[in-house]
């Protein structure tokens, strides 16, 4: 059976791609064909004559074989700024329909798809829609990545409220330990477990090399 999830975070730079790649490694270890989808990415480097987003490349490497980078990341914007501003700088617009079509293509080709959002849950993509609108149109269960740092409880609760306001189901949440150790980590994790209306799918340790395969065993997937 094919399953897909929309993965979002409590903020930017809290490990969404790291968590997405860990999920992909975990699913593949179960013998499933899995792929990551980064519909919109802002921030690209010139590699072998083309602009590529680092997170999209990481998703491709963690995915099952046979998926091209353009399939995983159909819209790659060069500037590492808010997507709608990056699109304006290139005289481009972010259209919803191609992003939905790209997802449908991957879903037909894999047993597990993780759709990684950009930034937090409500990042503008255009004048009249944002990443929450994209999630709502996809209609997928949501996985929330909580960057374990001061303020994460408030950010997590606000994100959960926004997810529920769009009529979406929170499938679970993942705690991601960042480079700077969080004071009272265990107590904060307990508070999140008590407060969030979905199970914790795992707490990922900080891994200096960023090797998501080493984090995959820390996930507990149904």
SS3 44: coil
Distance CA 117, CA 119 (A): 7
Q: Is 190 a catalytic residue?
A: no
Q: What is the mean pLDDT of the chain?
A: 96
* 147-148-151-154 Cα dihedral, nearest 10 degrees: 70
Quickly state the pLDDT bin for 1 (edges 50, 70, 90): low
Higher pLDDT, 26 or 1: 26
Q: For residue 108, which of 33, 168, 24 has the smallest C-alpha distance?
A: 33
Q: How far is CA 217 from the centre of its chain?
A: 18
Residue 215 in this model has a pLDDT that exceeds 90 = yes
| pLDDT tens digits for range 87-107 | 999 999 999 999 999 999 999
pTM of the model: 0.96
| pLDDT tens digits for range 48-102 | 888 999 999 999 999 999 999 999 999 999 999 999 999 999 999 999 999 999 9
HEC profile for 148-162? ECCCHHHHHHHHHHH
Q: For residue 37, which of 119, 126, 110 has the smallest C-alpha distance?
A: 110
Quickly state the pLDDT bin for 127 (edges 50, 70, 90): confident
Q: For position 2, what pLDDT does the model report?
A: 79
Rounded to 5 degrees, what angle do the CA atoms 204, 149, 86 make?
Answer: 90
Q: Which of 16, 38, 190, 214 is catalytic?
A: 38
């Amino acid at each position: 059976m094919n399953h897909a999830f929309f993965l979002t975070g409590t903020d930017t730079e809290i490990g969404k791609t790291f968590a997405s790649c860990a999920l992909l490694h975990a699913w593949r270890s179960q013998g499933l064909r899995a792929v990551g989808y980064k519909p919109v990415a802002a921030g690209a480097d010139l590699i072998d004559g083309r602009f590529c987003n680092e997170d999209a490349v990481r998703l491709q490497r963690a995915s099952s074989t046979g998926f091209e980078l353009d399939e995983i990341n159909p819209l790659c914007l060069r500037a590492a700024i808010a997507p709608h501003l990056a699109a304006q700088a290139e005289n481009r617009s972010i259209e919803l329909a191609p992003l939905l079509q790209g997802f449908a293509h991957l879903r037909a080709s894999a047993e597990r798809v993780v759709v990684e959002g950009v930034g937090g849950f409500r990042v503008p993509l255009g004048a009249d829609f944002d990443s929450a609108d994209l999630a709502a149109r996809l209609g997928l269960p949501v996985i929330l990545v909580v960057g374990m740092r001061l303020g994460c409880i408030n950010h997590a609760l606000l994100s959960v409220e926004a997810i529920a306001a769009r009529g979406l189901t929170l499938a679970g949440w993942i705690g991601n330990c960042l480079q700077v150790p969080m004071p009272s980590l265990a107590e904060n994790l307990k508070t999140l477990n008590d407060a969030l209306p979905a199970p914790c799918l795992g707490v990922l340790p900080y891994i200096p090399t960023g090797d998501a395969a080493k984090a995959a065993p820390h996930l507990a997937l149904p």
